[in-house]
Structure 1
Amino acid sequence: MTRSSDTLTYVYAAAYLTEALRDALTDLRGIYGMTVHPLTAEPPTGAPEPPMGATEPPMGALDDPRPVLAFAASPVPADDFNEHDLKTHFEDLRWLEDVARAHHDVVQALATRATVLPLRMATVYQDDDRARQALSRQHHVFAARLAELDAHTEFGVKIYLAPVTDSPEEDRAAHGEAPAPTTPGKAYLQRRKAQHHAVEARYGQARQAAAALEAIASHYATHRVSHPVQNGALTGPAENVLNDAYLVPNAHAQRFTTEIEEAANAYDGIRLEVTGPWAPYSFAMPPSDEGPRTGPDQAQRR
């Protein structure tokens, strides 16, 4: 179905259109509460076979044992997602947060029932037909990536350092030691020296913990991505010093998280945060020249 000129086609993810995915799409709402629907295209000649976990035939195609590749899409107002207005909206943090949350909710809902390849936020096409054409052109790329992601889940692993106290007297008191008599000048130098040693010790603990966690993850994860560390309001008084994502086979997910958390308990002064399971956002391939583009400068060009 081709949408009117008042709307654009917003694409959330690519996945094989199995019965499980159809069930997940039932009554699923996306951005602005719009219904999410599948878009399919004929696979090109020589398209790779779906992974074993996606061999369920789609409804209405029982004579064909292979499921078809589909986009999960919904209409969005052209007035909000055209090139000019997207540039403005991307500076509106409230609007950006609402759209990002709706995008994420759709991808996560689908990921609970099927292997999905998340597309970046604000991947839009002029209409459904343009989206189908892009799906057909990129069929080999999407299919190959889905095969690598099949039966895998993303987990996030973050390490935070607790803030170092400003006063060496507080450190001494915390260890049951009496405060050392000193002059104001010596107290200042002692405070600076204590802070320096405390910071170095915390960073040393973080490096050791990161190496230990990476060694454990290497036994389970198939891929790793290191993201920029977070700062500001996202971390509070603690300092984020490691922000990694791992792609883990579902069969190893429980052991992965358990061993990671147990290993982190051996290190003082750090806080570990393991998040997930997530749809594999960090392991979706970058768009090619023919694939869907992301961002305000790419809207309505497809």
Structure 2
Amino acid sequence: MGGELTYLYAVVRPTASLDGADPREAGGVADAPPRIVRVGGIAAVVGSVPEADYSEAALRNHLEDLGWLEEVARAHHAVVEFLAARTTVLPLRLATVYRDDDSVRAVLREGERAFAGMLDRFAGHVEWGVKVYAEPVAASDAAAAEESAESDPGRAYLRRRRQQRNARGAARSAAVEAVARIRETAGELAVELVGHRPQQGQLAGSGAGENLANDSYLVPGDSSGAFHERVRRAAREMTGVRVEITGPWAPYSFVTLTGPDLPEGVRQS
């Protein structure tokens, strides 16, 4: 397989905000400069990638290569964010690949109504991520001193384990309450909310604690400051709770390419 395939990053409108902007500045997957394919009132931002690496069979093998996936994800995200800084964007999932540009044009023609509707829906909005962690508070100095004074090592061990369980339980309860507060108060400013599966292991980040909520909020851009303040206020002074806010992002979590208005063959990996 020595040919090339067309890699689809995103769908946009070919508006004045893109005039003069060169997506090649953002780099591109497989070091291929992105280009724009236009059909009517919408456009796709695409690039050429080697079939040897991006055929269905090759992609299945690459899914086991975290280094390769990270490199592709970084390049994909750079192109999407370049576009999002200039216009409303519908980001496609990683490794959405078509046979050629004509196949992409067919997708744009057949799905134009659905794409246009989503572009209208997301105009002026951004995605914010909110993760809530339960982080048990370490034993106090007084508790540590009490344990060191305990003459029976077995009883000291059991006391330490009981304190750890109590701390974990208290932190978890506080984090659950923080999640509810954030979804209620900050969620009032969002037009949509998507709850992702809480992350575990390396995906949960370098900090300690249990990830109890991994939510994405679609928020009007001019409400972002108020949204941040409500998130922080909801968890303020809650012991054993850590909150992370990430973004703003293009609406990755809210783009759905399914339904009768879209053609078959939209492959997202």
Q: What's 1:12 paired with?
A: 9
Deviation for aligned residue 1:121? 1.0
Residues 110-153 of structure 1 deviation map (CA, whole Å, 9 limit, x = unaligned): 00110000111111111111110011111111111111111000
Q: What's 2:235 paired with?
A: 264
Where does the alignment leave 5 or more consecutive residues of structure 1 unmatched?
A: 43-67, 166-170, 296-302
Shift in CA distance, 159/26, structure 1 to aligned 2, threshold 3 Å: closer
Deviation for aligned residue 1:182? 5.2
CA distance in 1, matches of 2:214, 2:267: 26
Quick one: which of 16, 21, 25 aligns to 1:24?
21
Where does the alignment leave 5 or more consecutive residues of structure 2 unmatched?
A: none
**Identity over the aligned pairs, expressed in percent?**
41
Q: Are 1:115 and 2:84 counterparts?
A: no
CA RMSD in angstroms comes to: 2.0
Q: Would you say the 8 A contact 1:159–1:206 is kept in 2? A: yes
Deviation for aligned residue 1:27? 3.2
CA distance in 1, matches of 2:56, 2:152: 65
Residues 154-198 of structure 1 deviation map (CA, whole Å, 9 limit, x = unaligned): 000011222565xxxxx2415797556452332233223222211
CA distance in 2, matches of 1:102, 1:211: 35
Deviation for aligned residue 1:78? 1.5
Q: SS at the partner of 1:219?
A: helix
Quick one: which of 121, 124, 130 aligns to 1:151?
124
Q: Are 1:247 and 2:218 counterparts?
A: yes
CA distance in 2, matches of 1:267, 1:24: 46
Deviation for aligned residue 1:31? 0.8
Shift in CA distance, 182/286, structure 1 to aligned 2, threshold 3 Å: farther
Which is richer in helix?
A: 2
Larger-Rg structure? 1
Q: What's 1:173 paired with?
A: 141
Shift in CA distance, 84/119, structure 1 to aligned 2, threshold 3 Å: same
Q: Would you say the 8 A contact 1:14–1:116 is kept in 2? A: yes
Structure 1 residue ranges (4+ consecutive) displaced by more than 4 angstroms after TM superposition: 174-180
Shift in CA distance, 174/6, structure 1 to aligned 2, threshold 3 Å: farther
TM-score, normalised with respect to structure 1: 0.80
Q: What's 2:268 paired with?
A: 294
TM-score, normalised with respect to structure 2: 0.90
Q: SS at the partner of 2:9?
A: strand
Q: SS at the partner of 1:267?
A: coil
